[in-house]
Amino acid sequence: MAAFPSGFLWGCATSAYQIEGSPLADGAGPSIWHRFAHTPGLMRDAETGDIACDHYRRFKDDVALMKRLGMQAYRFSVSWSRILPDGTGRVNQAGVDFYSRLVDELRANGIEPFVTLYHWDMPAALDDKGGWLNRDSAEWFAEYASVLFRALDGRVTKWATLNEPWVVTDGGYLFGALAPGHRNLFETPIASRNLMRAHGAAVRAYRETGRHEIGLVVNIEPKYPASESPEDLAATRRATAYMNEQYLDPAMLGRCPPELRDVFGEAWTDWSDDDLAAVRQPIDFLGINYYTRAVTRDDPAAWPVRTATVRQDGAFYTETGWEVYPQGLVDTLVWIKQRYGDIPLYITENGVALADAPVENGRLHDPQRIEYLRQHLLALHQAIAAGVDVRGYMVWSLLDNLEWSLGFSKRFGIVHVDRQTQERTLKDSAEYYSRIIASHGRALDDPT
Ligand code: PNW
């Protein structure tokens, strides 16, 4: 039954600060995540990304591991402050060389590099100038992006500008759980607009020199009303506008959802026509990160969106407290097609944090992750059969890694990483995913 389109890309995803370690090596400047992690009280168990998965030094072994699993694509991110230690101006060639070697190693092993330019680690030097609150951030980002386009576009065919701008502003500027750790309702719409201006500026820069594909990666969490009451329906609209449309509407439709005025009140300011035009650039694909859904009800006390997520009896909740809901992936993909039209899509992240069993005799059994992957891949197949143009799937994540301010407490990897020895051990889910790839999805029909 399960046939995936020919050319469909099977891969896995990571991000720089979560796996690399050696954040200041070879002339790199500090990023906002280095600063955040080294500020007391902000990280669970006082963890940092100083070592993480030591991928900066072990990247060849990790590429060999991907090759062994049959990965066809690898989505990783570039650390801006390795490339431009001060954020703009002087290029650190040793930083460029690291990613150049990684790209060569991937290509030598037949793995397509899929590069995310911004996975949350702005150079600290730019945060000192206001970070995403500074309108110049759009030009800073385009300058950085252009350095990479020049260095790598001959060998990289897939570029993503931003990873999950919603998480950047919600975590970094509204609730303070992520770098740069602000908690300010007035700043949030400003950071939001500048991030999208940066996206637009990088896409424009790419059109001058780039020869391949560039797109945007967003997280989508479909919202379902808890009841048909007018309050819950309005709450569901607010939550949808806030999380799922705030970034895609400007990028794809050249407008902002009107419900944002209701969310932000007078902290919201309408975008100028020039800003809207600068953000709405034709892109070649959208990357969709899908993890869970939210059944949404009105909650006047919940600042600032005034919504709450209703726990579902009998549902399975993961270690990050997210409901497992594969049908939400189908609904998300169909919604994207309906609202934004036909555009090639990639699932750029999908996966699950579990309290895995310990490694025993070099094995780790994670049947719940296998079931999660199987159900979501079946859902993906269903969406493709319904006519949605999905070109690839990247599991989050290759390795157990630094789950941001939650430290290493949440394990998303299909490969276990021993924190002491850095030894990599395949989980059963890695072997399972490897069989899925080798059969181009047909193994989904086999009992597990
Ligand atoms: C993504 N949400 O973050 C990130 O791209 C990854 O770096 C991260 O490790 C992964 O998902 C797992 O958390 C998200 O609240 C963070 O909906 C929060 C949400 C979604 C994605």
Does residue 447 surpass a pLDDT of 80? Answer: no
pLDDT digits (tens, 9 = 90+) for 336-374: 999 999 999 999 999 999 999 999 999 999 999 999 999
Q: Is pLDDT at 408 greater than 70 in this prediction?
A: yes
Residue 433, CB half-sphere, CA atoms under 13 Å: how many? 35
Average confidence (pLDDT) over 45-63: 98
Q: 163 CB less than 6 Å from ligand 1?
A: yes
Q: What is the pLDDT of residue 446?
A: 84
What is the position in ligand 1's atom list of the atom closest to the CA of 120?
A: 7
Q: Is 170 in the pocket of ligand 1 (CB under 6 A)?
A: no
Prediction ipTM score: 0.91
Mean pLDDT across the chain: 98
Is the pLDDT at 52 greater than 90? The verdict is yes
pLDDT band at residue 87 under the 50/70/90 scheme:
very high
Ligand 1 pocket test: which of 118, 162, 164, 307 has the largest number of ligand atoms within 8 Å of its C-beta? 164
DSSP string, 133-183: GSTTHHHHHHHHHHHHHHHHTTT--EEEEEE-HHHHHIIIIIS-SSTT---
> At a CB cut-off of 8 Å and minimum separation 6, what does 97 contact?
none
Cite the active site residues: 349
Q: Are 362 and 421 in contact (CB under 8 A)?
A: no
Does the Cβ of 166 fall within 6 Å of ligand 1?
no
Return the axis-axis angle of helices 137-152 and 187-209, rounded to nearest 10°.
30
User: pLDDT per residue over 245-262, tens digit each?
Assistant: 999 999 999 999 999 999
| Through-space distance between the first and last CA atoms of the chain, rounded to whole angstroms | 16
| Percentage of residues of the chain with pLDDT beyond 70 | 99
Cis peptide before 250 (omega within 30 of 0): no
Tell me, rounded to whole angstroms, the distance of Cα 74 from its chain centroid. Answer: 13
Looking at residue 221, what is its pLDDT? 99
From 173, 253, 248, 174, select the one nearest 215 (Cα to Cα): 248
**pLDDT tens-place string over residues 382-391:** 999 999 999 9
SS3 407: coil
Does 193 have pLDDT greater than 70?
yes
9-445 is classed in which CATH architecture? Alpha-Beta Barrel (3.20)
pLDDT at site 317 = 98
* Confidence band for 1, pLDDT divided at 50, 70 and 90: low
> Percent helix, strand, coil in the chain (nearest 5)?
45, 15, 40
For residue 189, pLDDT beyond 90: yes
* Probe target for ligand 1 pocket from 77, 219, 408, with the most ligand atoms within 8 Å of CB: 219
Cβ of residue 221 lying under 6 Å from some atom of ligand 1: yes
Query: What does the pLDDT read at residue 2?
Result: 63
Q: Which long-range contacts (CB under 8 A, 24 or more apart) does 202-209 make?
A: 202/117, 202/141, 202/142, 202/145, 202/161, 203/161, 203/281, 203/282, 203/283, 204/142, 204/278, 204/281, 205/142, 205/145, 205/146, 205/149, 206/145, 206/149, 206/159, 207/281, 209/146, 209/149, 209/150, 209/153
What percent of the chain has pLDDT above 90? 99
The answer, yes or no, to whether residue 17 has pLDDT greater than 90, is: yes
pLDDT at 448: 60
Cα 23 to chain centroid distance, Å, stands at 20
3-state secondary structure of 70: coil
Distances in Å between the Cα of 10 and the Cα atoms of 68, 97, 294 are 13, 26, 27
Strands 345-349 and 285-289: parallel
Provide the residue count of the chain. Answer: 448
CA 1 to ligand 1 centroid distance, Å? 31
Calculate the CA 261 to chain-centre distance.
26
Span 275-305, pLDDT tens digits: 999 999 999 999 999 999 999 999 999 999 9
Q: How confident is the model at residue 3 (pLDDT cuts 50, 70, 90)?
A: confident
Mean predicted confidence (pLDDT) in 226-247: 98
Alpha carbon distances (Å) from 188 to 169, 268, 271, 329, 418: 6, 9, 14, 28, 37
Going by DSSP bridges, is the β-strand pair 415-417/424-426 parallel, antiparallel, or unpaired? Answer: antiparallel
- The protein residue with its alpha carbon nearest to ligand 1, atom 12, reads 403
CA–CA dist 427, 242 (Å, integer)? 36
**CA-closest candidate to residue 235, choices 298, 282, 321:** 298
